Amino acid sequence: MRTLVLVGGVSGSGKTTLTDMISAVAADSVNIKTFSTDEYFGEDYDFDVTKLSAAHQWNQDRTRAALEEGCNLVMVHNTFCSDWETEAYREMASELDYKVVSIIMNPVELFDDVHGVPSAVKQNQGTKLVNMFQSRLS
């Protein structure tokens, strides 16, 4: 079964750690690729908010290419704090006959944030996640 896994959560919640662990375990038996918009900003994470839109498009393009290649397991790890942030990925998965699995990391169990995201931004991301879940339940 071809699957697209969307891993979301606040900065520092372990999204990259989880996808790296799964990739390491599954690499010998499954055709797996992992993607994150953060990769656009390089190994040293030279973040520039003015390039964020381009970074997201770049990540969506790479994801689509992997899906079109027929990769068995594609994992995308971004904050995904609002439903609209996953729409493009869900649409391409539907179009290309992939099952979609969403994983939301627990924002209480934060890992070390290697990107230096300020606490206020993480708090805002957490609030958006809570609001998203509340809207799904109402």
Q: What is the pLDDT of residues 9-60, one digit of tens each?
A: 888 888 998 999 999 988 888 899 999 999 999 988 888 999 999 999 999 9
| Cβ pair 36, 16 in contact under 8 A | yes
AA identity, residue 57: Q
Measure Cα distances from 109 to 22, 51, 86, 123 in Å: 19, 29, 23, 13
CB atoms within 10 A of CB 108: 8
- What is the pLDDT, as a whole number, of residue 114? 62
Tens digits of residue pLDDT in 61-113:
999 999 999 999 999 999 898 888 999 999 999 999 999 999 988 765 555 56
The domain ranges of the chain are 3-137
CA angle 11, 13, 15 (to 5 degrees): 90
Question: Do 68 and 28 touch, CB atoms closer than 8 A?
Answer: no
Phi, psi of 124 (to 5 degrees): -60, -40
CA 133, CA 128: separation in Å to the nearest integer?
9
State residue 51's pLDDT score: 96
Return the CATH class of domain 3-137.
Answer: alpha beta
What integer pLDDT is reported at residue 58 of this predicted model?
A: 98
- Cβ atoms of 20 and 105 within 8 Å: the answer is no
